[in-house]
Amino acid sequence: MFVDSHCHLDRVDLTPYQGDFDAMLMQAREEGVQHMLCVCIDLEHYEAMCQRVSDYPDISVSLGVHPNEQGGQEPSVDELVRLGADPAVVAIGETGLDYHYNDGDLGWQRQRFEAHIEAARRLAKPLIIHTRDAREDTIALMRAAGAEQAGGVMHCFTETWDMAKQALDLGFYISFSGILTFKNADALREVAQSVPLERLLIETDSPYLAPVPYRGKKNEPRFVSHVATRIATLRGLSVETLAEITTENFFRLFRAARPAE
């Protein structure tokens, strides 16, 4: 059984299911997905996101504002702590630094990242960190702000082994998405072979980054099995063993309610 440790269920394309959210979830469950973490990217849609998934015990939620989100409500530490104190919230983020689509003075991104780290520390909840084209600044800020006190995961990891090692040294987990299955991802697959099994997670980042053989199509949680299969092959493990390991890692990190036995 799999856990999709990072997806945006309020943004998944329901067209193949005639708009039926339950049908999409049922398909994921039938293909072995036993739990999903629905990740927040802005405060404007946070309440609606929570309402969308509140009736499903196999879906957890996070709270945060993505580093690429601009023009909406800027999260203060106090607001993140207030909203994040809800027991339904298992993590703070996604947050981090993304210099790929932004230029100029990005001090606002760093301040936002610091606010999330401080809120996670106060709440004793793990961070979900997004990083792109900002390796040195991401690690430096994590160290300076005490991110290791909260812990968390480097989600949809696409960076180098050197960065992964630094994040691991801070106590973080590393999560891989469908990018790992792409033809040109040899370097990333080498990283996936090196991450300690007890710090490994899998995700879809639905509705983005669908794995091979669905690349170019809309992603959804049921496709997480393709990420698991590729990592299992790389590590010389059965898919069942890889699923068991990553599931255990998820519930250890996020302390989410486990499914009934």
Q: Could you tell me which residues are annotated as the binding site for a divalent metal cation?
A: 6, 8, 94, 130, 155, 205
Which residue ranges make up the annotated binding site? 6, 8, 94, 130, 155, 205
Backbone angles phi, psi at 42, to 5 degrees: -155, 160
Kindly report the three-state secondary structure assignment for every residue of 23-46.
HHHHHHHHCCEEEEEECCCCCCCH
**DSSP 3-state percent helix, strand, coil across the chain (nearest 5):** 45, 15, 40
> Looking up tokens 């207030």, which residue turns up?
82
Looking from the CA of 203 toward its CB, the CA atoms found within 13 Å total 29
The residue type of 65 is: V
How many angstroms separate the CA atoms of 71 and 24, rounded? 31
Looking from the CA of 169 toward its CB, the CA atoms found within 13 Å total 10
The residue type of 156 is: C
